[in-house]
Amino acid sequence: MIRVFIVDDHQVVIDGLSSILSDDDNIQFCGSAQNGKEALHQLESVSPDVLLLDINMPEMDGIAVIKALRAKEDKTRILVLTMHNNPQFTKQLIQLDVEGCVLKNAGKKELIQAISDVNDGERYYGKDVTDTLFADVKKTEKAVEKVQLTKREVQIIRLIASEYTTNEIATDLAISTHTVDTHRKNIVSKLAVKNTAGLVKFAIENGLI
């Protein structure tokens, strides 16, 4: 029996999901919460196998919940249920070691399959989610190829876009600050941008962050 806890700020969504899950003999609905703070409080006494988690919620959103659980080394497997089919968002979930992500327009069959796979220790990212992510990766590859950026230059663009200073970039990549400045000048020249804002814009538009 898979114990599932639902976190969503809309009670009608919780009611609908719990009704869907109750139809499956292998799944047990073990509780719910309508915001992140409430969820973390309840999870101290409830031990679900899978946390079905929304992202946009008041007081404490889903990303904050994930980070809090990871910080506590909580073993609950997380399946994000969201309307956001955004490659940057999906990358963030992967970086946070989230076990799965399904869009809210998914059918009952896919939802049950995702819960089952995640409970079994597998990863489940819905087809629409992975298709969008792969399309973004291809877009990034084409953009990098078009302006002939090196792997090191791509690394530096990502770090700049993540607000790293020159000294921090040098430390992270084990190179000198002079080398970082040289790479930055070459990148600015290749991208034909004027400043850091231009680099960040390129990184965002081409899925580098």
Task: Please write the tens of the pLDDT for every residue from 127-172.
Answer: 777 776 555 656 555 555 566 778 888 888 888 888 888 899 899 8
- Phi then psi dihedrals of residue 208, to 5 deg: -80, -15
φ, ψ of residue 140 in degrees (nearest 5): -65, -45
According to the model, what pLDDT value does residue 208 have? 67
Within 8 A by CB and 6+ apart from 111, the residues are 17, 20, 81, 102
Q: Is the pLDDT of residue 177 over 60?
A: yes
* Per-residue model confidence as pLDDT tens digits over 58-91: 888 999 999 999 998 888 999 998 887 877 778 8
At residue 47, the pLDDT reads: 87
pLDDT average, residue stretch 183-188:
84
Fold of 148-205: Arc Repressor Mutant, subunit A (1.10.10)
Q: What is the pLDDT of residue 140?
A: 55
CA atoms within 13 A on the CB side of 77: 20
Work out the pLDDT band at 53, boundaries 50, 70, 90.
very high
* Percent with pLDDT over 90 in the chain: 35
pLDDT at 59: 83
Please report which residue ranges of the chain form alpha helices under DSSP H.
Answer: 11-22, 36-43, 62-71, 87-95, 108-119, 127-147, 151-161, 166-173, 177-191, 196-205
The dotted CATH code for 2-131 is 3.40.50.2300
Beta strands, E only, 14-148: 27-33, 50-53, 77-82, 100-103, 124-125
pLDDT of residue 153: 85
pLDDT of residue 50: 96
- Can you give the pLDDT at residue 67? 93
182 has a pLDDT exceeding 80: yes
Comparing 126 with 33, the larger pLDDT belongs to 33
Averaged confidence pLDDT in the chain: 85
Work out the average pLDDT over 110-130. 88
Q: What is the mean pLDDT of residues 27-55?
A: 92
Residue 53 per-residue DSSP state: E
CA proximity to 17, closest of 67, 66, 54:
54
- Give the number of residues written for the chain: 209
* Domain spans of the chain, in order of start: 2-131, 148-205
Query: Which residue did the predictor score with more confidence, 4 or 94?
Result: 4
pLDDT of the residue at 74: 86
Residue 193 per-residue DSSP state: -
Yes or no: say if 7 and 51 are a contact pair by the CB < 8 Å rule.
yes
